[in-house]
Homo-oligomer: A and B are copies of this chain.
Amino acid sequence: MSTTARQRYAAMAEKLRKSGLKSTPQRLAIMRVLSESKRHPSADDIWRHLRRRFPGISQATVYRNIMLIKSLGEAYEIALAGAGCRYDGRKPYPHPHVVCLECGEIIDPELESLRDMTREITAASGFEIRTFRLDFFGRCPACRKKN
């Protein structure tokens, strides 16, 4: 693993400090969850998790801070169809996902062909590509064995 959770958290907290905004306990705790979670948690997941330590924390605070952290460029929003959004604080930039339709597992593949595809689109459409969303859905190796 090239970047550790600790490093991600430090980078987030540092960016926050530099921004001049306040480092509240709730805000830092949300950053910690985002930096550590490999599960692409939803706002609700984060809220539930933090209620242990901050019994009175409100969902509004979680949403507001996720929004802030996104705007600092330190979290990436994954909008999977149907359900609400999920967030990735470990790779805070657009990247492809592969989602298992049976167990819900999400993996982040490295795709050599992504560069080619972007080029192909630019050539064919004349668009200047800024970002993307690229999700594949199927059955993971474990679920393929089960059935």
Contacts and interface: CB of A to CB of B under 8 A. Distances in A.
A82 to B, nearest CB: 8
A15 to B, nearest CB: 23
A124 interface: yes
A121 interface: yes
A73 B68 CA distance: 40
A91 interface: no
A124 to B, nearest CB: 5
A81 B135 CA distance: 13
A117 B109 CA distance: 11
Contacts of A98: 121, 125, 127, 129
Contacts of A114: 117
